[in-house]
Structure 1
């Protein structure tokens, strides 16, 4: 395991690039404050340098709240806003690292196969299938900050979603009935919607 001093890149950190992308985003992006001690522990656990966008986000912020809270990019966590850290979300999980969750229970996972280029994969709550985004973490986050959230989720948004999503806690998801993956649940303007704990939503999706 590499020590923290080797992981905190002081000569060429990626955080200024992330900050620039946040500032240029076409929708609100909230940068949650990080606790320095927790951030160090998260980076040490992750074992990537802060030269990478993944390492920079984990070490320099508690998380990124994109587009009124629709997408929650995990960092070192923020207790005040009830956003878990990347380490907490991934405790006991294998096969990839969950790096972001959305308000409908979708999950973005960074997968680094032994003999292949790491890519971001998305578990879609409307199909219950994994989709390979075929891009790495930095390119994926740049796309999400650059406006990609709008197009990616265009088919699962409803009139007035902004207020509902903003009122949803960062440890919550919006539960729909009938479920998104059913034929009756495809139109989110007609289904029943309510906030539930994210853990409850993920359990329902895994059982679906």
Structure 2
């Protein structure tokens, strides 16, 4: 496509220091998502939606949302029209990345809700900068305290609509060391709701 950012996305993915898998797009759903979001393939977000059902990064630890399929929701299904927040990715532990509108005149930035601190952190990166950093290897340091020996095998074994629930939760002192926690696969929607409910109860 003329003017598409897809070649840039693809080049970054091919140069990644860990495995990156592009899931096949749903052409009809991709077109619908682009129209609903009002974006084009000239942006990295639009290129990802148009050309992928989602991107699995670092053995599937991070699922970057696209037009959906194979257990991945499409990106519009995760949108919150009221706040205009757009969930653009989730990780194997139920953490979420959201593209969030900024102050008037300022570009949106990506925020992260982590299962360890149960709060939204502004990463101070636009979507393209965030995804480029992810594909360049930022996940290794970013998740340094949220992984355990052999996580790659466990994550690869779960469905794309599942995440790994750990008990005690990583937001507790007892659950900080995930190598000692009980771990099991649960539906991703259930896992995300669990962490947000914990945050609500704690007033986070």
Provide the TM-score with structure 1 as the length reference: 0.91
Q: Deviations over 1:13-58 (max 9, x none)?
A: 1000001011111111110001211110111111112111001101
Partner of 1:190: 180
Shift in Å at residue 68 of structure 1? 0.8
1:94, 1:103 → 2: CA distance? Answer: 25
Partner of 2:202: none
Count of residues in Structure 1 that have an aligned counterpart in Structure 2: 197
**Structure 2: any 5+ residue segments left out of the alignment?**
199-204
Matches within 5 A, 1:1-208: 10-78=1-69, 81-90=70-79, 94-115=83-104, 116-208=106-198
Partner of 1:4: none
1:163, 1:42 → 2: CA distance? Answer: 32
**Structure 1: any 5+ residue segments left out of the alignment?**
1-9
Describe the SS at the equivalent of 1:185.
Answer: coil
RMSD over equivalenced CA pairs, Å: 1.2
Shift in Å at residue 95 of structure 1? 4.1
1:29, 1:62 → 2: CA distance? Answer: 13
Provide the TM-score with structure 2 as the length reference: 0.93
Alignment CA distance shift 1:130-1:82 (3 Å): same
